[in-house]
Structure 1
Amino acid sequence: MTGTSFDAPILITGGAGFIGSNLADRLLSEGHRVRLYDALARDGVERNVDWLRGRHGDRVELVVADIRDRDRLSSAVADAQAVFHLAAQVAVTTSMLDPRDDFEINIGGTLNVLEALRTRGDATPLIFASTNKVYGDLTDLDFALEDEAYVPTDPEIRDHGVGEARPLDFHTPYGVSKGAADQYVLDYARSFGIPTAVLRMSCIYGRGQMGTEDQGWVAHFLIRALEGKPITLYGDGHQVRDILDVSNAVDAYIQSWRRIAEVSGRAYNLGGGPANAVSLRRLLHHIGDLTGREVDLTFADWRAGDQRYFVADTRAAERDLHLAPKVAWREGVAELARWLAAERRLNTPMGVAAE
């Protein structure tokens, strides 16, 4: 990382969201100025802005604008020392209902960011939030069912997870739009010399997450369980995901920026890896232990593009980005449960009471 300044702002598109606000808090705590660019379209994100301002005062700048507004975006990019591009349409289900809107936000919005940087012409770095959905539904893999979890029969994938060499295979409008944006970001490093890096994220969870059924499912499960409400599982619940605490995700974003000279033009898988792989059913058992009551479940059909298994092979990211050890999933989920119980002022068992 070169040319770092504590005077020039760092731009975070989607900066009022869950990951964006956690990233902003870390950068602000290091002494940087941060410019949040966010349409504030998602319920509750204004609270994240208030939280950041309460902690960091006037070093937090908010630009309320849509990523599709090229003029506002270009102005926000103009003096930024680095850009973290997290703004997106984030739900597969929403992309199935309105694929044009998904296209315009995820592809058009990303192109707007890239063009604003290309117009500057001074090699301002960009770190892009991609997704494991770029690898498709992985239906070509064979699985065994073991202890309520799908496990790959391929020993390499079983031991290490899905690596970056896996062919891209876009499914659903969301997968297509995020995958195309992912490829645009990588190509702008090749074609125009803009230093970029892509992080293909698995399931990120942690403090500050107010999840819904369509996005942020770990927090959604906890919220429903803490409130004593039923949870709907789509499919059979044996699906496996490698969940990653947001503090570890923030580490990866910041390290991608700090090491951009070494990693520009690269895409990295970012997830919990095999040590933090858990099936939905196992996670719900843990949540039941935390809340002191069995979770009430209902079931529905599989959803489009759902993967029976995704665990990221994170060895390349750990090596190249020099990442710290990951928070163990049981510990991280318990911490999120405590935070949610306190934030929502719920009457909960002592196991998840605020510390």
Structure 2
Amino acid sequence: MSGSGAPVLVTGGAGFIGSNLADRLASDGHTVLVLDALSRDGVERNLAWLKSRHGSKIVHLAADIRDRRAVDEAVGEAQAVFHLAAQVAVTTSLVDPVEDFEINIQGALNVLEAVRRRGATTPVVFASTNKVYGDLADVPLELVGDAYRPTDPGLRVRGVSESRPLDFHTPYGCSKGAADQYVLDYSRSFGVPTCVLRMSCIYGPRQMGTEDQGWVAHFLIRAIEGQPISIYGDGRQVRDIMNVADTVDAYLAAWRRIERVSGRAFNLGGGPNNAVSLVQLIAYIEELIGRKVDLSFSDWRAGDQRYYVSDPSAARRELGLAEAIDWRTGVAGLAEWLQGERNGKPAQREKVEAVG
């Protein structure tokens, strides 16, 4: 993994997690191929930031993940592939399930087939999601204060493990879940060295939060700007949030240990120690900014999970990960970064609601 030899490909490398990963790779001396169509608001700024920091070590390939020829060419140059390019919103998948399918399933197959045709030796680390486990409606919950929690004390302590049955809900859940399974099967069927990371809620610098994705940053942006926040559901739904620095550590560890973890999926999140409900997070944001936030509430959305907390023990054990950054420390750091961005370039968002 030293910074020499062939470049590393990061699909979706101008996005939130992708740009943080590309930055780390370039800082380690690698040339990074950033395959990104720049179709999402704000990602041009991430790309410009990468180029300003790393110059010629960042090579932008302006292409869509659905473009098989472009993917073939990019994979042909790469010593490893981090596949993060995706349609990332449940709401968008419900509006246009065909495009969701084409980006998330066909795009993943384009990457896997490019590797297989090349000789099936290039490692592929894939960004999956906790949505592969469905809405967890069968998990008995109780409401304690401002947060739901499982009645099963073992689940409260450990979180949801990889042994949880898959249960795809919404077109987004189906497309990401199908891609997740294709990535694992290409290790079984064709010997491609692959690893799947089923992420919980990731937050941190360079996150352009909207109602559809990136709710931690979205809450902070709205609060800093003095704008109201609308929440889907009652706000007591719980997630384990994870700082992007810890997330990047996991992706690099999966590549470093690919021979050991090939063909495996890991739940990646902050774990029970970083579990927080939406209204608990907003209360902490109010402490950070020194004023109350105007809240309103909307109906629950399709596929919403009232509780999802990862069991990170397998990932920490097999990937050699350190304990995750405490969510309060991480959120305070993100607030500071957003304030700095706002002082230079206002972090304007068109949409005004936040996910549950």
Tell me if both proteins adopt one fold, taking TM over 0.5 as the criterion.
yes
Structure 1 residue 324: Cα displacement: 1.7
CA RMSD of aligned residues (A): 1.3
Question: 1:27 corresponds to which residue?
Answer: 25
Distance verdict in 2 for CA 1:205–1:148, change over 3 Å: same
Question: 1:176 corresponds to which residue?
Answer: 174
Secondary structure in 2 matching 1:55: helix
Query: Which runs of structure 2 are paired with 1:184-195 in the superposition (5 Å)?
Result: 184-195=182-193
Structure 1 residue 168: Cα displacement: 0.1
Quick one: distance in 2 between partners of 1:230 and 1:5?
A: 45
Q: Does the 8 A contact of 2:131 with 2:169 survive in 1?
A: yes
Quick one: distance in 2 between partners of 1:32 and 1:109?
A: 24
Q: Please list the CA deviations of residues 61-96 of structure 1 after superposition, one character each: whole Å capped at 9, or x if unmatched.
A: 000000000001100110200000000000000000
For structure 2, the 5+ residue unaligned runs are: 346-356
Aligned counterpart for 1:42 among listed residues 22, 40, 43: 40
Query: Which runs of structure 2 are paired with 1:250-261 in the superposition (5 Å)?
Result: 250-261=248-259
Aligned length: 346
For structure 1, the 5+ residue unaligned runs are: 348-355
Q: What residue identity is the alignment partner of 2:330?
A: G
Quick one: distance in 2 between partners of 1:289 and 1:19?
A: 27
Q: Does 1:335 align with 2:323?
A: no
Question: 1:323 corresponds to which residue?
Answer: 321
Question: 2:16 corresponds to which residue?
Answer: 18
Quick one: distance in 1 between partners of 2:174 and 2:128?
A: 11
Quick one: distance in 2 between partners of 1:150 and 1:239?
A: 6
- The runs of 4+ residues in structure 1 deviating greater than 4 Å are none
Query: Which runs of structure 2 are paired with 1:121-136 in the superposition (5 Å)?
Result: 121-136=119-134
Q: Does the 8 A contact of 2:3 with 2:29 survive in 1?
A: no
Aligned counterpart for 1:313 among listed residues 311, 314, 317: 311
Secondary structure in 1 matching 2:343: coil
Query: Which runs of structure 2 are paired with 1:190-205 in the superposition (5 Å)?
Result: 190-205=188-203
Q: Does 1:217 align with 2:178?
A: no
Secondary structure in 1 matching 2:198: strand
Quick one: distance in 2 between partners of 1:5 and 1:326?
A: 26
Give the structure-1-normalised TM-score.
0.96
Quick one: distance in 1 between partners of 2:168 and 2:242?
A: 23
Quick one: distance in 2 between partners of 1:25 and 1:219?
A: 20
Q: Does the 8 A contact of 2:120 with 2:191 survive in 1?
A: no
Quick one: distance in 2 between partners of 1:212 and 1:231?
A: 11
Structure 1 residue 170: Cα displacement: 0.1
Q: Does 1:240 align with 2:238?
A: yes
Q: Please list the CA deviations of residues 122-158 of structure 1 after superposition, one character each: whole Å capped at 9, or x if unmatched.
A: 4100000000000000000101111200000112111
Quick one: distance in 1 between partners of 2:120 and 2:296?
A: 54
Quick one: distance in 1 between partners of 2:170 and 2:30?
A: 38
Question: 1:353 corresponds to which residue?
Answer: none
Structure 1 residue 296: Cα displacement: 0.5
Q: Please list the CA deviations of residues 235-257 of structure 1 after superposition, one character each: whole Å capped at 9, or x if unmatched.
A: 00000000000000000000000
Secondary structure in 1 matching 2:128: strand
